[in-house]
Amino acid sequence: MLKYKRGYPVAILIGLEKDKAVLWKIFSKVVKPEKTVHINGTQNYPKTVYGFHESIINALRPTLKEGVRSIIIASQARTNYAQKFINHVRDHHMWLTRGPNKTSLSKITGSGRTPPQVNMLTRSPEFHKLVSETTAEETENLIEILENRLNTAKRNNDVLFSLEEVENLILRPQKPKSPKPEYLLLTDKYLASRRHNRLHRLITTGYTD
């Protein structure tokens, strides 16, 4: 769940090691551990690696449903774990790399196994550059989606502009076939000028529906 003391969600960091993958949620202010996925065997067998990668994808799904669209994969120098995982996503999960909800995939050299390692990694200039690049790409994707919605006259393609309208849609009971929210776009200026508890209730309710 999004909490304002954590800031806003920025990315998912996957620390890929020989024997496991450690998933972290990167917020604008803190980093939180998410899940650890262990490989059932060794990296020497393609079927084992395939199952390992599929387990990582399944572990990512809940966070992806929350709207995070940036994934950064960390692996140590002279290993190909990150690239092998990216290749797996491109070969078997095109829904992650294509279409309006596509995800940005990038890799970085380093270890994401322990909190101290992740802290050092996320403070590096290379990591900040990756976050800026993936955030910019994600923003472009969202703007494209918004423009499509504004230019489409189809029913149930509504764009709501006020907080009250959004609260009515998300917090109040709706008919079974009523439209469901896809995105909640907020500017930094708007966040700074509003009471956080009201927005926090709105966002967390949207995540759990």
For 174-200, write each residue's pLDDT tens digit. 667 666 667 777 776 776 666 566 666
Rounded to 5°, the CA angle 193-199-201 comes to: 155
> How many other β-carbons are positioned within 10 Å of the β-carbon of residue 42?
11
pLDDT band at 156 (very low <50, low <70, confident <90, very high): low
Is residue 3 scored above 50 in pLDDT? no
Query: pTM (2 decimals)?
Result: 0.73
In SS3 terms, the chain reads as CCCCCCCCEEEEEEEECCCEEEEEEEECCCEEEEEEEECCCCCCCHHHHHHHHHHHHHHHHHHHHCCCCEEEEEECCCCCHHHHHHHHHHHHCHHHCCCCCCCEEEEEECCCCCHHHHHHHHCCHHHHHHHHHHHHHHHHHHHHHHHHHHCCCCCCCCCCCCHHHHHHHHHCCCCCCCCCCCCCCCCHHHHHHCCHHHHHHHHHHHHHC
Residue entry with tokens 């604008």 = 28
- The pLDDT assigned to 135 comes to 75
Residue 189: which residues within 8 A CB-CB, separation 6 or more?
none
> Which of 87-91, 138-142, 169-173, 185-189 is modeled with the greatest confidence?
87-91
Tokens of 58: 């399944």
Distance from C-alpha of 59 to C-alpha of 67, rounded to nearest angstrom = 15
Residue 205: which residues within 8 A CB-CB, separation 6 or more?
170, 171
Beta bridge partners of 104: 70
Q: In what order do the strands lie in the sheet with 104-109?
A: 31-38, 20-27, 9-16, 70-75, 104-109
CA atoms within 13 A on the CB side of 103: 27
Nearest 10 degrees: Cα torsion 94, 100, 101, 104: 70
Domains of the chain, start order: 9-144 (3.30.420.60), 154-208 (no CATH)
CA atoms within 13 A on the CB side of 64: 15
State pLDDT tens for residues 38-79: 999 988 899 999 999 999 999 999 988 887 888 999 999 999
- The pLDDT assigned to 205 comes to 59
